[in-house]
Amino acid sequence: MAIAKMKLVNIVGRMKDFDEVVRKCCLHGDFHPEQSSAALGDVEEFAPIQDFNPYSRQLQKTIDIAVHSDIPLGYSEFDSLKLSDAELEDYVGKIESQINDLNGKVRTLSQEIARLEQGIIQLSHIKSLKLSLDDIFSCKFFYFRFGRLPRDSYPKLEVCDEKDSVFFFPLEEDKEYLWGFYVTLKSESEKIDQLFTSLYFERLKILEEAHGTPEEAISAIKEKLNAKTEELKAAKEAVDKFWEENRGQFLKVYSKLKYLSDSFDLRRYASKCGDSFYIFGWVTEENAEKFQQQFQNLPRVDCVIESTEEAGDIKPPTHLINNKLTKPFEMMTEMYGLPAYNEVDPTAFMTITYMLFFGIMFGDLGQGLLIAIIGAILKAKNLLKQLSGIFIRVGLSSAVFGFLYNSIFGYEDILPFTILPVHDNKNVNLVLFSAVGLGIFTIIICMIINMINAVKQKRVDKLLFDANGVAGFVFFASVITAAVFTLLFNKNVLTLPFIICLIILPLLLIYLKEPLTHLIEHKKKIIEGSKGEFFITAFFELFEALLSFLSNTISFMRIGAYILSHGGMMFAIFAIANMLHGTGSVIFLIFGNVFVIALEGLIVGIQGIRLHFYEMFSRFYEGSGKPYKPAKVEYNSSK
């Protein structure tokens, strides 16, 4: 429920130790590198390190081998693997050659088998022919072509000009085609081929292995096919045996190459000056000491741990730490943007408010438990991991409020008591005003969080003069206080001192935010640019702030509206079900509940997100953080 504290890491040493340093940086996956040029600025002596990765080519070969051989890639301990870079290259080349030969044999045999099987299929269409194929193709003066002719084209042969020059003999037929052959004089072959092409004749190619009658040819080819199938089986067994003997060593070599390649890529973040290098980045405060101890055995390497204040304009990365309850809602937080390092992580706040809003708007004990059960099933099957967790939480919240509302699948008379009679027509106004009250309380909390962010960011303007800072807080709280006393207690507190000190003065501070901030920061220019432009811009910004207070507050009335709409939808479903009888009524009630869960559940979920993004986050949350991406080796990656 917070952002992990970071420490700045500066590493300086001799180039001779550089490879060892970057490998240690990748070892435990807790070092987030930054471009060293960002810290060095205009220091001319240092230049980026842009060396060619000597391991990338061999690594890609191992990945290609694994992909083509359907070998799952993963980490295999390689500390015992004592192979030099040259020996690794030789090993990969040897494996590549051997497996290519084995796979090539499998591929060739598979193609040959496919060719023979296709040949048998082709010959089966003309097996009724009792003439020898050898005799047919050895004719000196006659020309033969086997294939299939569309049924629609066959009658056209009778009326074509060349009908006396060619004969077509059907041997087999189906609904669409006539299978057979045509015969003509060799001197007429070119003209006849063109004729049959125009009639959409499709040639059937006879295999070279086909001898004798088609039936005899099929029998002989089947024998050859069986032999080739046995050869293919043996070839595949040879591949399996190869991997059985070499898989362990191959995965070790892959893991080592992956480690060497990925750690070498870390060099692009570093800079060098002569025989020295410099690289810096971030580690979590929790792991800083352990990370620093890695370099104690490298006497020419200095690893210095510093606070974030030493980083200047370079922003630390954001690493969210949330417990099991709030973890699924990180997805929603990141949809808006990752919190900056010096910002409050809103995930925990959103977890509470989103569950609360959803439960209030969609309060039903039965439907809520059903949503929670669906989420639990999805989680058990490892589907929609984060969304399933949200389903469980909002479903349970819905069930709790359904218990308070005495609402179970729309029935409101099962429990003998009703703690919160929100669906009673007498309480409509109370429900809507309570929703607005909840919104007012939520907005006040958002403004308090914004002031906390201002303190963390050391921004006086944001703390004192912002519409969501002290000035805005005093104004909003004062207006709400005056409204409450007037409406509930019939007491007017809007005295002149009250109006001047608690309403006009805060608005004036918001209006003069820029010059007051410049005055506190001792800047030479109190107002940047044209004064007229400033006053006009400031006026519209103040007007926008006032509108946002009003619109954001009223917007929370939708929570009450959805409480009422849920009851209205279930009332309509029961009304229709009562018109039906027996099984039809039960089926419609089931369908109606499913429909409400799907449709209204989706709408309420979206409205909950909208309230957070527009009415709440806009008051305190910038979401301008950069993710914490420590350098680590992804052994399961195929990239």
The pLDDT value given to residue 603? 94
> Are the folds of 2-49+270-320 and 126-203 the same?
yes
Mean pLDDT for 64-80 is: 88
The pLDDT value given to residue 431? 92
pLDDT-wise least confident of 5-9, 187-191, 450-454: 187-191
The pLDDT value given to residue 271? 87
Residue 425 scores a pLDDT above 60: yes
Residue bearing the bigger pLDDT, 478 or 309 = 478
Residue 637 scores a pLDDT above 70: no
Q: In whole angstroms, what is the distance from residue 248 CA to residue 586 CA?
A: 61
Confidence of residue 223 (pLDDT cuts 50, 70, 90): very high
Confidence of residue 8 (pLDDT cuts 50, 70, 90): very high
The pLDDT value given to residue 314? 87
**Cβ pair 217, 191 in contact under 8 A:** no
- Residue 198 CB-half CA count within 13 A: 10
Query: Of the segments 23-27, 127-131, 581-585, which one has the largest average pLDDT value?
Result: 127-131
Q: What is the third-level CATH fold of 2-49+270-320?
A: Alpha-Beta Plaits (3.30.70)
Instruction: Look up the CATH number of domain 126-203.
Output: 3.30.70.2750
**Per-residue pLDDT reduced to its tens digit, 517-560:** 888 888 888 888 788 888 898 899 999 999 999 999 999 999 99
Mean pLDDT for 612-627 is: 92
Residue burial 48-71, b: 16+ Cβ < 10 Å; e: rest: ebeeeeebeebbebbbebbeebeb
Confidence of residue 639 (pLDDT cuts 50, 70, 90): very low
Q: Per the structure block, which two tokens stand in for 507?
A: 């608005």
**Cβ pair 607, 358 in contact under 8 A:** no
pLDDT-wise least confident of 223-227, 378-382, 518-522: 518-522
The pLDDT value given to residue 162? 67
Residue ranges per domain, the chain?
2-49+270-320, 126-203, 322-419+556-621, 427-555
- The percent of residues above 90 in pLDDT, for the chain, comes to 59
**Cβ pair 113, 229 in contact under 8 A:** yes
Instruction: Give me the residue label for tokens 């005799």.
Output: 135
Return the ∠ at Cα 486 (arms to 485 and 490), rounded to 5°: 95
Residue 490 scores a pLDDT above 70: yes
**Per-residue pLDDT reduced to its tens digit, 354-368:** 999 999 999 999 999
Confidence of residue 467 (pLDDT cuts 50, 70, 90): very high
The pLDDT value given to residue 41? 64
Residue 82 scores a pLDDT above 90: no
Q: Determine how β-strand 166-173 pairs with β-strand 302-306.
A: unpaired
**Per-residue pLDDT reduced to its tens digit, 145-171:** 999 999 998 888 877 766 678 889 999
The pLDDT value given to residue 44? 62
Instruction: Give me the residue label for tokens 């499709």.
Output: 202
Gyration radius from the chain CA atoms: 39
Q: In whole angstroms, what is the distance from residue 412 CA to residue 573 CA?
A: 14
The pLDDT value given to residue 438? 95
Return the ∠ at Cα 462 (arms to 460 and 467), rounded to 5°: 135
Mean pLDDT for 130-135 is: 90
Instruction: Give me the residue label for tokens 């240092």.
Output: 46
Average pLDDT, the chain: 90
**Per-residue pLDDT reduced to its tens digit, 276-329:** 889 999 999 999 999 999 898 888 899 999 998 888 888 999 999 999 999 999
**DSSP string for 264-282:** HHGGGG-EEETTEEEEEEE
Mean pLDDT for 608-622 is: 93
- The percent of residues above 70 in pLDDT, for the chain, comes to 98
Residue 488 scores a pLDDT above 70: yes
Residue 638 scores a pLDDT above 70: no
The separation between CA 146 and the C-alpha centre of its own chain, rounded to angstroms, equals 55
